[in-house]
Amino acid sequence: MTPILPPGMVDIVDVAPRDGFQSIAEPIPTEEKQRCIQALIDAGVTRLEIGSFVSPRILPQMADTGDLVAAFANRPGIRFAALVPNQKGATIALDHGVRELVFVVSVSEAHNQNNVRRSVDDSLDELAAIAKRLREAGNSYLRLDLGTCFDCPFDGTIGWQQVDRVMTRAMDLCAGLDLEVGLCDTTGRATPYQVADHFTRLRERHDYEGLKWAFHGHDTYGMGVANALFAIHHGASAIDGSCAGLGGCPFAPGATGNTATEDLVYALNGGGVHTGIDLPRLLTAADRIAALPGGKIASHLRNVPRERVS
Amino acid sequence: MTPILPPGMVDIVDVAPRDGFQSIAEPIPTEEKQRCIQALIDAGVTRLEIGSFVSPRILPQMADTGDLVAAFANRPGIRFAALVPNQKGATIALDHGVRELVFVVSVSEAHNQNNVRRSVDDSLDELAAIAKRLREAGNSYLRLDLGTCFDCPFDGTIGWQQVDRVMTRAMDLCAGLDLEVGLCDTTGRATPYQVADHFTRLRERHDYEGLKWAFHGHDTYGMGVANALFAIHHGASAIDGSCAGLGGCPFAPGATGNTATEDLVYALNGGGVHTGIDLPRLLTAADRIAALPGGKIASHLRNVPRERVS
């Protein structure tokens, strides 16, 4: 079949080591995390969200992020990102040699308050400080995740205009950085047409050279793969997935984890979009991740007889 | 949001009363089937596959199809279809006053043999006889379902050329009929790009005025909604779904039921495509269908807290 998208156009970012692992209360041994991450790398995953430099008091599961960064330092061709909740976290991440920081602000005031106990304004102040720190460090990449871009568990449907307002302010603060903006469907409630509409409108409004777009979705409503494909067709060059669909969101009632990476890879490989990921090996990684005690998983491909996957 | 598809362009065909019910071994009381069908109608479903005029020896679950047809006769605005495995079934269906017959032939020889114990040639002979009967009866509509259009559980991937060969012969036999061709992803293994490719190629090859296209899919690999939307964007004007995702396929290992109607309706309603179906009422029907003993169900929407569905 003729490829509909040019090969290599889409990055798959596996967020299981951050978004997935943090959904498990009992700390996973660092060695087991390393084995899971290594299994993802062995499958051909080249971008990972490896952890979060958040206070270990708040999220003990993420306390070993620095150790993981050290363990996987200097892997050629592999990009590791780490979430930072504030400028303190950013400083620690940079001190650990992390090249790719991720910062999240929810478009919805109510969700931002519930998620990070701060107003959107305060989150944007932190963003300004992080951007400044990055410029000082000569490290220009930032992944800015805009949470609840389509739906908020408290406020309901979110229009693109509301995303635009927060994004416009954020873009100002991030001037000069090498920015990748992730539109996040935090609850999984977005529909493919809503995803297409948001990407279309926002890309028209923020048509800056070099600006990259990503999509972060959940399969809670069964829209996971469709939403990701519609995002790609409307400008996203990176898609987040969580291997085995590990995850959930404490402030998004009923949300399952991010769309399973294996479901996304199956859809893309089948369109001649070579993600560089080997599906059978990815399923080996998924089996390991699914075996972690206390994890909530959601994957279609893992339920198919293995000989029927290729 | 601006509708991406014109309102009313897509028919949702609920096949739960046929494809779903027949997956349950123990006969469901006819009155309970009627209540399920009525619940679907109450939700706004206007097209249903109500049953199958197959030998009750082979499929006892379908033995009451005639009674169901009689019970729902003359509902204005509601289209009822019934599957017929051969010309004898077609004669009985027409005698019962059924206006819409469905005939299935698998594109793959191996699957056709396993599914209906006949060669593709023999199935096409039956099709010729059914077409003749329809012309004699002055009843021109036929839904022709081409099974295993994308993947066969025995032969693997199916190219569009193989579909084209069977379809070309079928089109000849059906000349003069008001035909709706359903490309069926019997195993759920199709990818959205494969669906787009098949629809594009086959519509180029069979560009006849009045010919209608449908898509019948499963969510086994998590592609259900994406495949349906790609089919719509490439020419399908009808999509099959099974309420609650009830079903499975005895000759398609690991296959879950057809993509849940409620997942499809959620995706379409969210794009401004008014299917005419009320989602909360459809979920009421899904609850009733999911409660049938012995059924295998697969629905995303039913797992979402009800107040988070609209």
| Chain B interface disruption, residue of A151, A193, A299, most B CBs within 10 A | A193
Low-confidence residues of chain B, pLDDT below 50? Answer: 1-3
Q: Which pLDDT does position A143 carry in this prediction?
A: 98
**Count of residues in chain A:** 310
Contacts of A224 in chain B (CB under 8 A): 222
Contacts of A220 in chain B (CB under 8 A): 300, 303-304
Catalytic residues of B: 249
pLDDT tens for A13-39 read 999 999 999 999 999 999 999 999 999
Q: Distance between CA atoms of B50 and B72, rounded to whole angstroms?
A: 9
Q: Which pLDDT does position B255 carry in this prediction?
A: 66
pLDDT tens for B94-135 read 999 999 999 999 999 999 999 899 999 999 999 999 999 999
pLDDT tens for B160-187 read 999 999 999 999 999 999 999 999 999 9
Q: Work out how many CB contacts closer than 8 A connect A with B.
A: 124
Q: Which pLDDT does position A255 carry in this prediction?
A: 66
- Among 3.30.1860.10, 3.40.1190.10, 3.20.20.70, 3.50.50.60, what is the CATH number of A11-308? 3.20.20.70
Of the candidates B192, B267, B303, the beta carbon closest to that of A223 is on B267
Q: Which pLDDT does position A5 carry in this prediction?
A: 56
Q: Distance between CA atoms of B106 and B116, rounded to whole angstroms?
A: 9
Of the candidates B4, B153, B308, the beta carbon closest to that of A189 is on B308
Give phi and psi for A260, each to the nearest 5.
-60, 130
Closest Cα in chain B to A222: B300
pLDDT tens for A173-182 read 999 999 999 9
Q: Which runs of consecutive H residues, i.e. helices, occur in chain A?
A: 30-42, 65-71, 87-95, 109-116, 120-137, 160-173, 192-205, 224-233, 261-269, 279-290
| Chain A interface disruption, residue of B259, B304, B306, B310, most A CBs within 10 A | B304
Closest-CA residue to B184 (of B127, B129, B283, B251): B251
- Please judge whether B223 and A266 are an interchain contact, meaning their C-beta atoms are less than 8 angstroms apart: yes
Q: How many angstroms separate the CA of residue A226 from the nearest CA in chain B?
A: 4
Contacts of B193 in chain A (CB under 8 A): 1, 4, 267, 270-272
Q: Distance between CA atoms of A16 and A289, rounded to whole angstroms?
A: 8
Closest Cα in chain A to B155: A308
Q: Which pLDDT does position B220 carry in this prediction?
A: 94
3-state DSSP call for residue A103?
A: strand
Q: Which pLDDT does position A256 carry in this prediction?
A: 79
Closest-CA residue to A240 (of A257, A253, A259): A259
Contacts of A2 in chain B (CB under 8 A): 197
* Interface predicted TM-score of the whole assembly (ipTM), two decimals: 0.95
Of the candidates B2, B225, B272, the beta carbon closest to that of A223 is on B225
Closest Cα in chain A to B197: A1
Contacts of B300 in chain A (CB under 8 A): 219-223
Q: Which pLDDT does position B204 carry in this prediction?
A: 96
CB-CB contact of B241 with B14 (8 Å): yes
Phi-psi region at A181: left, alpha or beta (left = phi > 0; alpha = psi -120 to 50): beta
Of the candidates A1, A194, A305, the beta carbon closest to that of B197 is on A1
Per-residue pLDDT of chain A (310 residues; tens, 9 = 90+): 444 555 557 999 999 999 999 999 999 999 999 999 999 999 999 999 999 999 999 999 999 999 999 999 889 999 999 999 999 999 999 999 999 999 999 999 999 999 899 999 999 999 999 999 999 999 889 999 999 999 999 999 999 999 999 999 999 999 999 999 999 999 999 999 999 999 999 999 999 989 999 999 999 999 999 999 999 999 999 999 999 999 976 555 566 789 999 999 999 988 877 788 999 999 999 999 999 999 999 999 999 999 888 7
- Please judge whether A266 and B197 are an interchain contact, meaning their C-beta atoms are less than 8 angstroms apart: no
- Please judge whether B270 and A225 are an interchain contact, meaning their C-beta atoms are less than 8 angstroms apart: no
CB-CB contact of B51 with B14 (8 Å): no
Catalytic residues of A: 249
**Six-digit token string for A70:** 């050290």
Contacts of A226 in chain B (CB under 8 A): 192, 225-226, 229, 267
